[in-house]
Amino acid sequence: MVRKLNEVSHLRNTGFGRPRPRHGLKLLHWFANECLIFDNNNNMFTECDPADGDFGFHLFKNRSDEYGNKLLPNNNVLYYVVGNLNSAGAEDLPESVTEDKYTGEDDSNTDRIIVSLHDDCEFDEVYISQHQDRSNYDPNNTYQITKGLLMIIKRMRLEDFLQKMGYYPYTQPIYLMPYINIRPETTNTAGPETVITVPSRDPPHYEAPAAQNSETIITMGEETPTKNPSEYLPKKKSVCERLCTIL
């Protein structure tokens, strides 16, 4: 019995379409957004023509395997399959689906979508599967995609969908080393010093371990001691000295 997938997490847990260069997740997103529409009764109608070979669709015969088992239910319906990037018409698929066609990887062209049609214009059921060899599909990796999950996928951007599916490999975040400003220490032995402070060149977000407001100290030697400012002012005359000058 084919298992049904109702949620995005269910689809992720299957591992379908991963890792790159497999194209099944991109194919499924394209199919949900470009190849089907829902009416007001949630019936799925075709926006492409599988019976006419659009986008590489071709008849899927649902043959019995060596044990007499069929991949899909035998419901006397016609099945069509899409996803073989070497099929006639597959060149019309978007580049996002076909970009890894010539990677040379053995599993880069194994993913498929299989649909059943009613009156050539309405999808009955949608399945995902993958080849286990050149001729046979893997029954353990074949699932039915429910209408609810297809609706969820239709509301997602491709990049968001792939990210949620874990299609992109995890990348280790890059940690930047803290900004360290090293200045040589100088010693001034010429005599008394005048201390002048200038703003630090460190970035605004940098904080030295010992103090938050870092300053650079520049020392300048002087030949003579600094005088008290009052020594430079003229001395005031007394009242007696002023009267004598007038007289």
Q: What is the average per-residue pLDDT within 65-87? A: 92
Are 224 and 190 in contact by the 8 Å Cβ rule? The answer is: no
Res 234 pLDDT > 90: no
CA-angle at 117, arms to 114 and 119, nearest 5°: 165
Rg (CA), the chain: 40
Q: What is the pLDDT of residues 151-170, one digit of tens each?
A: 999 999 999 999 999 998 75
pLDDT at 165: 96
pLDDT score at 101: 83
pTM over 0.75: no
What per-residue confidence (pLDDT) applies to 181?
A: 53
pLDDT digits (tens, 9 = 90+) for 193-231: 444 444 444 444 443 444 444 444 444 444 445 555 455
Contact between 20 and 100 (Cβ < 8 Å) = yes
Compute how many other C-beta atoms are within 10 angstroms of the C-beta atom of residue 180.
Answer: 8
| Residue 107, pLDDT score | 76
Q: Which two tokens stand for residue 107?
A: 């599993």
Q: Which residue has the higher pLDDT, 133 or 50?
A: 50
Q: What is the mean pLDDT of residues 142-155?
A: 98
Categorize the per-residue pLDDT at 235 as very low, low, confident or very high, splitting at 50, 70 and 90: low
Stretch 171-187: mean pLDDT, rounded? 49
Query: What's the pLDDT score for residue 100?
Result: 85
Residues 97-120, mean pLDDT to the nearest whole number: 86
Tell me what pLDDT residue 140 has: 96
- Mean pLDDT check: name the lowest of 17-21, 138-142, 180-184: 180-184
Place of tokens 């002087």: 222
Residue, of 84 and 216, whose pLDDT is higher: 84
pLDDT at 74: 86
**What is residue 23's predicted lDDT score, i.e. its pLDDT?**
95
Q: How high is the pLDDT of residue 185?
A: 52
Picking from 29, 61, 19, the residue whose alpha carbon sits closest to that of residue 145 is: 29
Where do the structural domains in the chain lie, given as residue ranges? 3-164
What are the structure tokens assigned to 26, written together? Answer: 């991109």
Q: In the block, which residue shows the tokens 């940098």?
A: 206
Mean model confidence pLDDT for the chain: 79
pLDDT category of residue 65 using cuts at 50, 70 and 90: confident
Distance, C-alpha 54 to centroid of its chain = 31
Query: How confident is the model at residue 231, as a pLDDT?
Result: 52
Three-state secondary structure call for residue 4? strand
